[in-house]
Amino acid sequence: MTLSDIENGIVLAVDKPYGWSSFQVVNKIKWQIKRQLGIKKFKIGHAGTLDPLATGLLLVCVGKATKSIEQLQQGEKVYSGTIVLGATTPCYDMEQAVDRYYPAQHIDKQLLESTRQQFLGEIQQVPPMFSAIKVEGSRAYQYARDGEPVEIAPKSVMMYEFDILDTRNLGNADVERTVQTIELPAEKSPELYRNPQGHVPEGLPQVDFRIRCGKGTYIRSIARDFGLAMGSGAFLSSLRRERVGDYSVDDALTISSGKDMDL
């Protein structure tokens, strides 16, 4: 990267690693540019947050390219990942431990297919409480961490494709769970996003998927609603963003701790 890249603006496609926040990625690139080019002040930001437990494409805009952040966020996105059926977590992924089990033995491929079709086109979804969406001037996750109830209004999102790629443990006769609420620890950790607490309970059904969707779609909410629509529960166990608009993770830069990126 050169000074002219900063002056003219550049969009960096980065493959965000598991466990990193989007802010950490931006901060690492920021300090590397400062050190290598001797620049003290410049604009930098990302076009769409990825949760710490998600991996894949994060677009980092530098210099004048920050003016295109809103436009980039409008682009279609492609995600792949895994949904676990028969249980829920408070944040809809594995940042927290399972808080409830549900029956899932009735779920078969026919039910998966008919339910999948309900999630195509324009749908309504409620963003997760553990998300960066703003509610009354604060981030929703701040209320969630403090245990404060807050109402998040549903919003319309577009689902262009929702494909089921593979399944595991459907109709597993060894898993006999009725609806059961789990007693979770009372303490609340402000470092929730740094200390994942969840895991995939043995034997629960799992569904591998690929989704092509529009702006503002929370895949964690899709997972939660998918389970509810089948008379069960569900949470997201893995997520990878493969594409944003014309940008693909196949062409993205890699990043790791303690090493400079090849900017």
Catalytic residues: 51
| DSSP letters for 25-79 | HHHHHHHHHHHHH------EEESS---TT-EEEEEEEEGGGGGGHHHHHTS-EEE
| DSSP letters for 216-235 | T--HHHHHHHHHHHTTS-EE
The answer to whether residues 20 and 68 touch, using CB atoms and an 8 Å cutoff, is: no
Q: Where are the alpha helices (DSSP H) in the chain?
A: 3-8, 22-37, 69-73, 109-117, 140-145, 219-229
Instruction: Say how far apart CA 48 and CA 60 lie, in whole Å.
Output: 9
Max intra-chain CA distance, the chain? 63
- Joined together, the tokens standing for residue 225 give 């609603």
The total number of residues written for the chain in this structure: 263
Beta bridge partners of 124: 156
- Joined together, the tokens standing for residue 169 give 């443990």
Phi first, then psi: what are they for 100, rounded to 5°? -160, 140
Instruction: Say how far apart CA 262 and CA 206 lie, in whole Å.
Output: 37
- Joined together, the tokens standing for residue 151 give 């109402």
Instruction: Say how far apart CA 76 and CA 78 lie, in whole Å.
Output: 7
